[in-house]
Amino acid sequence: MARIYNFSAGPSMLPEEVLKTAAAEMLEYGTTGQSVMEMSHRSKEYQAIIDEAEADLRDIMNIPDNYSVLFLQGGASTQFAMVPMNLMTKNKKADYIVTGQWAKKAYKEAARYGNARVIASSEDKTFSYIPEVTKDMIDSEADYVHICMNNTIYGTKWHSIPETGDVPLVADISSCILSEPIDVSKFGVLYAGAQKNVAPAGLTIVIIRKDLIGNAMDITPTMLNYQTHADNGSMFNTPPCYTIYIAGLVFKWIKKLGGLEEMKKINVEKASLIYDFLDSSKLFKGTVVPEARSLMNIPFVTGDSELDAKFVAEAKKAGFVNLKGHRSVGGMRASVYNAMPVEGARKLVEFMKKFEEENL
């Protein structure tokens, strides 16, 4: 069997070690005589799995005690509604910074529930940069400020977060969670769909400061109220049991590697291999301003859409899959999430060099 290098923006690669552990435990978890998939979520064996997953996540992300960790469903997209329903309740105002399609979707959803305002955007240049945001741009009466930390489609990232004073900062970290250390205490809410850096699809992680829980709008469905899940240890109803188990294995894999500082070093090494090549290439070029480059998603183009298509097709044949860029940007995109080995980035660059020699 030859495993391919999968550069998909999500769902994406999982660490081979994690898949092997899951395979070994598929028929019987420990001495339970059953797979984790078959277990009651109310069993003590499963309780241990979810408790350990939360403890390990708290450990690697250094999550302070005044934050709840929630394991939910519905994807990051459900958070686009859940955040305003739970937080846009004091002054019914929120400020959004639109740095890509996900950020824009979050804004549009919030606008259905209150007075959402776009205070900065990078849409004028196809979201290829991060706009400057200063404190005076923020409404001090806003219930929160929302950003998308890493813009999966466009390959930009906030390298420093905006200063929001007492206004809670909410961030969608779907495509950068666990890629490097993050100071959780700077945020009111962090949320992420699991399928980029954590686990298979089906799990959404929410990290929320406890004082922001319990103020939801009256119309909020029970299932969309953070309080429901915080009060019940993410077990108000059946959680995505197996996905949480895999997430737990991924957390252990990161701990074993040496935590998020080490993870960052590996991610910088991978991204640098690709960016350095793009900067020196005569055929390929990156589409993002250097100071806003993402560690996780690297879009690039040749400038000729036929040549782009040829590259994507030849790369696929050579075992580098899902390199086609998002339709709104065109060209290519290499997503190099945590589980992509350094070797994958190195081999991709070798392949790009060869393609350049043959096509220039």
Ligand X SMILES: *Cc1c(COP(=O)(O)O)cnc(C)c1O
Q: Which of 46, 102, 154, 300 binds ligand X (CB under 6 A)?
A: 102
Residue choice 76, 142, 170, 177 for contact with ligand X (CB under 6 A): 76
Please, which residues have CB within 8 angstroms of residue 254's CB and are 6 or more apart in sequence? Answer: 60, 178, 260, 263, 338
Sign of CA dihedral 304, 310, 311, 316: positive
Helices and strands per DSSP (H, E), number in the chain: 9, 14
Q: Under rule CB under 6 A, how many of the chain's residues touch ligand X? A: 12
Give the burial class of 306: count Cβ atoms within 10 A of its Cβ; 0-12 exposed, 13-18 middle, 19 or more buried: exposed
Closest to ligand X by CB, 6 or 281: 6
Phi and psi dihedrals of 318, rounded to 5?
Answer: -85, 0
Q: Which is nearer to ligand X, 146 or 284 (CB)?
A: 146
- The CA R_g of the chain, rounded to the nearest whole Å, is 21
In contact, 261 and 214? CB cutoff 8 Å: no
**Which structure tokens are listed for 187?**
């945020």
Asked whether position 152 contacts ligand X by CB under 6 A, the answer is yes
Does position 302 bind ligand X by CB under 6 A?
A: no
For residues 258 to 297, the per-residue mask of contacts with ligand X, x marking binding by CB under 6 A and - elsewhere, is ----------------------------------------
Catalytic residue among 102, 157, 158, 253: 102
Distance CA(18)–CA(99), nearest Å, equals 33
- Residue nearer to ligand X on the CB measure, 197 or 228: 197
How many alpha carbons fall within 13 Å on the CB side of residue 190? 24
- CB of residue 351 to ligand X, shortest distance in Å: 25
180 counts as binding ligand X under rule CB under 6 A? no
For residues 49 and 298, what is the distance between their CA atoms, to the nearest angstrom?
34
**C-alpha distances in Å from residue 288, one per residue of 92, 231, 297:** 35, 43, 11
70 binding ligand X? (CB under 6 A)? no
Min. distance of Cβ 80 from ligand X in angstroms? 8
Report in angstroms how near the CB of residue 205 gets to ligand X at its nearest: 11
Of 95, 143, 157, 196, the active-site residue reads 196
**Residue list 6-35, contact with ligand X (CB under 6 A):** 10
Is 158 catalytic? The answer is no
Q: Which of residues 191-230 bind ligand X (CB under 6 A)?
A: 193, 196
Smaller CB distance to ligand X: residue 174 or 179? 174
175 binds ligand X (CB under 6 A): yes
Cis amide prior to 162 (ω within 30 degrees): no
| Annotated catalytic residue 196 | yes
Site stretch for ligand X (CB under 6 A), options 39-47, 119-127, 169-177, 239-247: 169-177
CB of 190 to ligand X, least distance (A): 12
Pairing of strands 5-6, 320-321: parallel
51 backbone φψ class: left, alpha, beta (φ>0; ψ -120 to 50): alpha
In one-letter notation, the amino acid at residue 11 is: P
Contacting residue, 13, 22, 46, 75, with ligand X by CB under 6 A = 75
Q: 174, 220, 294, 302: which one contacts ligand X (CB under 6 A)?
A: 174
Q: Is 108 a catalytic residue?
A: no
The residues carrying an active-site annotation are 102, 172, 196
Q: Which residues make up the interface to ligand X (CB under 6 A)?
A: 10, 75-77, 102, 148, 152, 172, 174-175, 193, 196
